[in-house]
Amino acid sequence: MRQNSGVLARINGRYHRVMLRLFLIVVIAHWAEHLVQAYQIWVLNKPRPQARGVLGQFWPWLVTSEWLHYGYAIVMLVFLFLLLPGFSGRSKVWWGIALGLQFWHHIEHLLLLIQAQTGTFFFGGTVPTSVAQLVVPRVELHLFYNSVVFIPMVIAMYLHLRPTPAERANVTCDCAGQQTSFSQPVPRVTTA
């Protein structure tokens, strides 16, 4: 097990499990917005502009200003970035894939936010329009984005919780169930 110091090290060491749980809460809240929106459109048959998810129902400006989903996007991106060093081996690869995809997802939301704030719409649109939205409708597009970020992220979490010995040797946290003293160095694993 590697030993580091500093805030990033603590996030990816002693507090990695807690931070992952916090991150999961954000992810679930974000999913709730999209799932409720899908329910409002496809089950309740609401017009799309009136399908504002959970928070948007109470504070529509959160949706019209694009702050709600941009906020989720940037928070998820920050979590994915900060928590990456805590992963190792296969889980790090999957987490990295989720991070890369979320980065692009965040760019899309940034474009929407800029347009909503400036009132200048790109690509000749009459509403804020992102790049991929030119070919895929918005609700479907962001369900897709959330899925392709979510699936590798969940796989990464699973592999992180059930690592191989070599992977376990290269993590600095106790997410996989190790009861480790974070103040004491742990011998590096040697395989036979």
Partner 1 sequence: MLRLLRIVLLPLVVGSVLLLAPAPAAAATVSNPADGAALAAAPRQVTLTFTREPVAEASQVSVLSGDGRPVSESAQPVRAGLSLTQPVGIARAGDFTIVYSVKFADGGHEQGTRRFRVLTDPAPGGTDAHAGHTAHDVDPVSATLLVVDGLVVLVVVFLLILRRPGADPVAWRLPSAERKSDDRTA
Contacts of 182 (CB under 8 A, 6+ apart): 13, 14
How many Å apart are CA 139 and CA 41, to the nearest integer? 9
Burial class (CB in 10 A: 0-12, 13-18, 19+), 63: buried
> If binding is defined by CB under 8 A, does position 39 make contact with partner 1?
no
> If binding is defined by CB under 8 A, does position 118 make contact with partner 1?
no
Q: Which stretch binds partner 1 (CB under 8 A): 9-17, 76-84, 102-110, 160-168?
A: 160-168
> If binding is defined by CB under 8 A, does position 28 make contact with partner 1?
no
Q: Which stretch binds partner 1 (CB under 8 A): 13-21, 78-86, 91-99, 140-148?
A: 140-148
> If binding is defined by CB under 8 A, does position 191 make contact with partner 1?
yes
Write the interaction track for partner 1 spanning residues 52-91; mark x where CB under 8 A is met and - where it is not. x-------x--xx---------------------------
Residues 11, 15, 21, 23, Cα dihedral to 10°: -10
Q: Show the tokens assigned to 96.
A: 């990295």
Find the binder of partner 1 among 18, 127, 131, 134 (CB under 8 A): 127
How many Å apart are CA 152 and CA 65, to the nearest integer? 30
> If binding is defined by CB under 8 A, does position 48 make contact with partner 1?
yes
